Amino acid sequence: MYIQDVIQQQNIKLVIFDLDGTLVDSVPEIAASVDDALDELNLPKAGEDRVRLWVGNGLKKLWERALTFAGVYSENYLAKTYDGLLRHYEKHVNQTTCLYDGVTELLTALKEQNIKLAICTNKMEKFVPRILASQGIDQFFDVIGGGDTLHDKKPSAVPLLHICNALHIEKDHALMVGDSPADAGAANAADVPVILLEQGYNQGVNLDSLLTIAVKPDIRSLLS
């Protein structure tokens, strides 16, 4: 399979996955949270198509984009209303999230080869374990890093290097799999090879314009 060839050629011992847009499709519930929070403020709803282009840099940045869309953004207003978004997200989280086809098969194949697996997401860490558990994939991961686990988040190199250090694996033996410019930026900054998936949330950026070892259609294509 494709990812097996990469692992052998580059002596990969650790695969670090993004979460939203890479392992799970979560935009419908994120969009519902954003729209409920906007509606509560008597602001126009954004809709799923717009929110899909805003995902990838954490909830606070997402809310900044939503308020900018509504024409009311300021740092003070963001700070004043952000808890409202969190409250609505707590209500919606993990209600409609689903695994992409091939995820369990891929994770199983990698674990059978004794490859270490980790999550590096810009989602707040507290939300991640319940999502992984509900999707039946929590047992695969050795380390979970969220957007608030450290001071820095993707596209900083810090989260990826932290995961490598936690697992005592040199970055030369790590591989990132993601779907967004933030994933590519973090991997490039950490000097870790990255594969990007077109199935996810690319913020309207042409993934082929980013520095990667490959852009693949979806998770299943890593198995072929």
DSSP per-residue letters across 77-136 = HHHHHHHHHHHHHHHHTTSS-EEPTTHHHHHHHHHHTT-EEEEE-SS-GGGHHHHHHHTT
Distances, alpha carbon 163 to alpha carbons 81, 170, 174, 176, 192, in Å:
32, 10, 10, 11, 12
Task: Give the pLDDT score at 209.
Answer: 98
Region of 204 on the Ramachandran plot (φ > 0 left; ψ -120 to 50 alpha; else beta):
left
Q: How far apart are CA 148 and CA 159, in angstroms?
A: 10
Residue 140 main-chain phi, psi, to 5 deg: -80, -20
pTM of the model: 0.95
**Catalytic-residue membership of 18:** yes
Q: How far apart are CA 162 and CA 140, in angstroms?
A: 19
Q: How far apart are CA 5 and CA 220, in angstroms?
A: 15
Structure token digits, residue 35: 């729209």
Q: What is the enclosing helix (H) or strand (E) of 144?
A: strand 143-145
Annotated catalytic residue: which of 18, 20, 179, 183?
18
The topology (CATH level 3) of 2-25+98-223 is Rossmann fold (3.40.50)
For the chain, give every residue range classified as CATH 3.40.50.1000. 2-25+98-223
For the chain, give every residue range classified as CATH 1.10.150.240. 27-92
Structure token digits, residue 27: 């935009």
Residue 148 burial (CB count, 10 A): 15
Residue 11 burial (CB count, 10 A): 9
Beta carbons within 8 Å of 90's beta carbon, 6+ residues apart: none
- pLDDT by 10-residue block (mean), the chain, 224 residues: 95 98 96 98 97 95 98 98 97 94 98 97 96 97 97 98 98 98 98 98 96 98 96
> What CATH superfamily classification does 27-92 receive?
Putative phosphatase; domain 2 (1.10.150.240)
